[in-house]
Structure 1
Amino acid sequence: MKEANKLKVFMIIFFSAMGGMLYGYDIGIIGGALPFIKSELGMTAAQESFLGGSVLFGGAFAILIGGILADIFGRKNMITASGLIFTISVFMIYFAESYDFLLFSRLVQGVAVGFISITVPLYLTESVPSMIRGLAVTCFQLFLTAGILISVAVSLLFISNDPVTGLETGDWRNMFLTALIPGLFVFIGGFLLIKSPRWLIMKNREQEAEKILSETIGVDAAKQQMQEVKALIEKTKNEGSLLSSLTKRHYLMPMLIVFSVAILAQMTGINSILQYAPTMLKETGLGSVYAAVVGGVAITGLNFVTTIIAVVIADKIERKFVITFGTLMVSIVLLTLAILMYAMPDTSAKGMVLLIGFILYIFFFAIGPGAYIWVIMSELLPTNIRSKGLAVALFLNSMASAILASSVMPVTQHFNGNYGVILGICGVCTLVYSFIAFKFVPKTNGRTLEEIEQGFIK
């Protein structure tokens, strides 16, 4: 790849993957803010859980229409719009004076995150050379984990002890205000992105597409890939809607795999654990909110570092193996924690065991399913239904995450404050995920999207 091409590809990866940082910041910031929002607004356990899950419900709604909008307006324009919506939502949260308006503001923020979660992986999958596609899409996950880490660490700056009462206080409004930085970065950076060449071909703008492909993969490779994409689109353009595609085996199999993985990826409990880690650690005996948030920083820091490893090996070790192994180890950790949460008394030792368990959980999750969920969902779906199929997959992903996140506190309260049931449910679901990855997910490393699709047609 020529130096000019390398710079162009770097710009594509960096500015679009910044959407991952925005997504991660949104997930992480609620963990440090939630205890102080609860204190100020007097929320019930159900309200607390729903506030945590609200951004995911908003994301699910956005994902329903995000694929259609990405097809109409283009991937680049949707990334830019997401940054603008997110920025507006930050101001809404900052000025919220009631639980209802705060909940609505988080839903709006979820809309921005939903658009990001469907558009960026789609854009990266369609815009970078196949030999680094795994690297590019896992960069989205890397930036996502960086956003979580930074937001949790930043929240520590706004936690202090009241000099009069000695009680912990936290400025949750300014915690959220810091989210302006990634929001504006995505909004401004979106203007610097190129258009997706595959989207341009679908819109019959072939000259623009060939020019962009020539700049990223070279003239000769661009001509060959143009022919492959056009031939595949021509072959599949009369095959009907997403619903009618369920009757065609070469569409049905990848859709079933992707939809199953989308649901089970969230049933590992990753978003719930990252959002509620400080609360869970504090309530199991780790101490103050500050100490619990420090524990959260340790967890998210490991998440970030391990994701770097996953990015490095993305196109070197077969993704199918890494996902299968990672999910198997995550299920073992979760099921062990579930048993220990019931067996141990409520002491500081229990809080430390939970922290150590979360660290092991994060390590295996980040190096396996965490880094590659976006790659698998984007790679396996056929070109003709990729945006719509990805929209359905991410809708299922967000709904699973939202329902789980909204259930954590009520379920835990029902079982006398014990998190063992939730962890056990997540452990069983992750075991099923491991089986599906082993049995049905195909090998994709180094193959073009067209080659992967042809594998299902044969």
Structure 2
Amino acid sequence: MSKQVNQTSFLRTIVLVATFGGLLFGYDTGVINGALPYMSEALGLNSFTEGLVASSLLFGAALGAVFGGRLSDYYGRGQNILYLAILFFVAALGCTLAPNVTVMIIFRFLLGLAVGGASVTVPTFLAEMSPADSRGRIVTKNELMIVSGQLLAFVFNAILGNTMEDNIHVWRYMLAISSLPAIFLFFGMLKVPESPRWLVSKGKHDDALRILRLIRDEQQAKAELSQIKDAIAAESNLEKASVKDMSVPWMRRIVFIGIGVAVVSQVTGVNSIMYYGTEILRDAGFQTSAALIGNTANGVISVLATLVGIWLLDKVGRRPMMLTGLFGTTTALLLIGILSFTLEGSATLPYVMLTLTVTFLAFMQGAIGPVLWVTLSEIFPLRLRGFGMGISVFFLWITNFFIGLSFPIMLENVGLSGTFLAFATVGIVSLIFIFKYLPETKGRSLEEIEEFFRTYDKQDELLKKVK
């Protein structure tokens, strides 16, 4: 019994340490929200350079996501997270000490490489370290740590912004805080073992068994080692998909849906609120210090809604959750667009805006966010999974990049109302896309999902011939 307790405790330690990669992901994407108003003044930013500072991280994340998986295949999952911790630390210090906008953009890009690398490596590492019966619960802890990191960023922004409001370098303190979890991640990963699955893929079976014995009982360790060997042997005989396979209609349809779901999750405008929430509340009428405090509500609701979303995921279908989420976010965006115009100059507008952004995030983080990653992991059959996930996540980050870059420019040129009405219009298009193309995957095996797409295309071809 004591040995089993130790195994469970060690696994929890592994999960805690690794998910600090998710915490850094969240903090580094959220901290710009409060730092930007002070940074703009100190570095003389305009709407375009504000967008570049915020979005350079997202462009780096797109590249980091593409190469992060390959590097973790080469160096090992744990080793790659260790290197990412170093990059998180160096890039955080670089942003903190940046003397001008050019240096800031360069180090934000490097920070993005770390964020993107963590976005693919940490969930993979957690999945490979987890027992099969608790894998879903453990992997979703990374999503929880991401939104917790964003909440921490908003809280520290509010504290520093209100206690050091007259200090022109307050934004540097906000950015510097992210170096602390990077130190914890680095020293923690020095004590964390490598993924057994990766070790087996490199022929290190004895090392894999030794590590499995630290987190499983003897019988489970041996059985899992055998399963890993069989899975890797099967994958080695599997021909991987590539661009040429896009000539096959059913494969092309799956990749089209994967990209579509990834893009839809971002064109809701969620990250305009996560990155520019303080700016939005300031434009609505709050003072900067009050906007920083109000913005923490966005972080709190994100964490609570994510917990609810994880709980709902296996109780409600993916499709109704996604449609409900999009209906809620689009309605909130429409109301923001209308009321920010009709209540302009009113003392109630800032509070209305805060209420609507919180409502928006409740639907986004409680319905769309959880469904996004589960859907991407379910719709791709094994042969197509690496290619399909890679290209979908790349489009997710690139969409995020363009929204992050264009939002402050739109805010300056068409105002708060026009910007959010544009997001609402795109939300309506997204609803139509999901209603028309997204199938229900809950309760279906990967083989059944693959057969659905094959059959769907055959039926489609027959209908065309009849017409």
Q: TM-score range by the shorter chain?
A: 0.7 to 0.9
- In structure 2, C-alpha distance between the alignment counterparts of 1:4 and 1:324, rounded to whole Å: 43
Match of 1:258 in 2: 258
Match of 1:190 in 2: 189
Match of 1:452 in 2: 446
**CA positional deviation for 1:353:** 1.5
> Which region of structure 1 is more displaced relative to structure 2, 140-149 or 169-178?
169-178
Contact kept in structure 1, 2:20 and 2:185, CA below 8 Å: yes
Query: Deviations for 1:14-51, whole angstroms, at most 9, x for unmatched residues?
Result: 22222111011011111111001111121111111121
Query: Deviations for 1:245-289, whole angstroms, at most 9, x for unmatched residues?
Result: 43456754543333222222211222221110010111112x210
Task: Tell me: CA distance 1:316–1:47, structure 2 relative to 1, closer, same or farther (3 Å).
Answer: same
Match of 1:281 in 2: 281
Q: Which amino acid aligns with 1:17?
A: T
Q: How does 1:61-210 map to 2 (within 5 A)?
A: 61-160=63-162, 171-209=170-208
Match of 2:424 in 1: 424
1:332 aligns with 2:331: yes
- In structure 2, C-alpha distance between the alignment counterparts of 1:395 and 1:225, rounded to whole Å: 31
Q: Secondary structure at the match of 2:19?
A: helix
Query: Deviations for 1:105-131, whole angstroms, at most 9, x for unmatched residues?
Result: 111111111111121122233432343
Q: Secondary structure at the match of 1:96?
A: coil
> Which region of structure 1 is more displaced relative to structure 2, 82-91 or 244-253?
244-253
Q: RCO (CA 8 Å, sep 6+): is it higher in 1 or 2?
A: 1
Query: Deviations for 1:367-388, whole angstroms, at most 9, x for unmatched residues?
Result: 1122343333344444455445
**CA positional deviation for 1:442:** 1.2
Match of 2:59 among 57, 60, 74: 57
Query: Deviations for 1:323-372, whole angstroms, at most 9, x for unmatched residues?
Result: 44333322232233233334332323222221111111111112112234
Match of 1:34 in 2: 36
Q: Which amino acid aligns with 2:119?
A: S
**CA positional deviation for 1:428:** 2.9
Contact kept in structure 1, 2:378 and 2:441, CA below 8 Å: no
Match of 1:435 in 2: 435
**CA positional deviation for 1:3:** 3.8
**CA positional deviation for 1:240:** 4.0
Match of 1:368 in 2: 367
Q: Which amino acid aligns with 1:377?
A: L
- In structure 2, C-alpha distance between the alignment counterparts of 1:256 and 1:16, rounded to whole Å: 32
- In structure 1, C-alpha distance between the alignment counterparts of 2:345 and 2:295, rounded to whole Å: 20
Contact kept in structure 1, 2:27 and 2:178, CA below 8 Å: yes
Match of 2:457 in 1: none
- In structure 2, C-alpha distance between the alignment counterparts of 1:225 and 1:141, rounded to whole Å: 27
- In structure 2, C-alpha distance between the alignment counterparts of 1:319 and 1:193, rounded to whole Å: 34
Task: Tell me: CA distance 1:182–1:422, structure 2 relative to 1, closer, same or farther (3 Å).
Answer: farther
Aligned length: 446
Contact kept in structure 2, 1:94 and 1:176, CA below 8 Å: yes
Contact kept in structure 2, 1:257 and 1:440, CA below 8 Å: no
Q: Secondary structure at the match of 2:147?
A: helix
Q: How does 1:227-376 map to 2 (within 5 A)?
A: 229-230=231-232, 232-236=234-238, 239-247=239-247, 252-285=252-285, 287-315=286-314, 317-376=316-375
1:413 aligns with 2:400: no
Q: Which amino acid aligns with 2:404?
A: A
Task: Tell me: CA distance 1:417–1:398, structure 2 relative to 1, closer, same or farther (3 Å).
Answer: same
Q: Which amino acid aligns with 1:244?
A: K
- In structure 2, C-alpha distance between the alignment counterparts of 1:219 and 1:421, rounded to whole Å: 55
**CA positional deviation for 1:6:** 3.0
Superposition TM-score, scaled by structure 1 size: 0.87
Match of 2:403 in 1: 404
Contact kept in structure 1, 2:331 and 2:424, CA below 8 Å: no
Contact kept in structure 2, 1:412 and 1:422, CA below 8 Å: no
Contact kept in structure 2, 1:63 and 1:392, CA below 8 Å: no
Unaligned ranges ≥5, structure 1:
none
Q: Which amino acid aligns with 2:76?
A: G
Q: Which amino acid aligns with 1:103?
A: I
- In structure 2, C-alpha distance between the alignment counterparts of 1:254 and 1:6, rounded to whole Å: 38
**CA positional deviation for 1:234:** 4.3
Q: Which amino acid aligns with 1:305?
A: L
> Which region of structure 1 is more displaced relative to structure 2, 400-409 or 196-205?
196-205
Contact kept in structure 2, 1:17 and 1:143, CA below 8 Å: yes
- In structure 2, C-alpha distance between the alignment counterparts of 1:251 and 1:12, rounded to whole Å: 37
Q: Which amino acid aligns with 2:335?
A: T
| Alignment RMSD (CA, Å) | 3.0
Q: Secondary structure at the match of 1:158?
A: helix
**CA positional deviation for 1:398:** 0.9
- In structure 1, C-alpha distance between the alignment counterparts of 2:234 and 2:332, rounded to whole Å: 43
> Which region of structure 1 is more displaced relative to structure 2, 334-343 or 316-325?
316-325
Q: Which amino acid aligns with 2:83?
A: A
Percent of aligned pairs with the same amino acid:
26
Task: Tell me: CA distance 1:219–1:98, structure 2 relative to 1, closer, same or farther (3 Å).
Answer: closer
Contact kept in structure 2, 1:33 and 1:172, CA below 8 Å: yes
Contact kept in structure 1, 2:267 and 2:423, CA below 8 Å: no
Contact kept in structure 1, 2:338 and 2:421, CA below 8 Å: no
Contact kept in structure 2, 1:161 and 1:169, CA below 8 Å: no
- In structure 2, C-alpha distance between the alignment counterparts of 1:152 and 1:440, rounded to whole Å: 36
- In structure 2, C-alpha distance between the alignment counterparts of 1:384 and 1:50, rounded to whole Å: 37
Q: Which amino acid aligns with 2:20?
A: M
- In structure 1, C-alpha distance between the alignment counterparts of 2:199 and 2:374, rounded to whole Å: 21
Unaligned ranges ≥5, structure 2:
453-467
Task: Tell me: CA distance 1:127–1:374, structure 2 relative to 1, closer, same or farther (3 Å).
Answer: farther
Task: Tell me: CA distance 1:428–1:37, structure 2 relative to 1, closer, same or farther (3 Å).
Answer: same
- In structure 2, C-alpha distance between the alignment counterparts of 1:22 and 1:320, rounded to whole Å: 30
- In structure 1, C-alpha distance between the alignment counterparts of 2:223 and 2:326, rounded to whole Å: 36
User: Which protein has the larger Cα radius of gyration, Structure 1 or Structure 2?
Assistant: 2
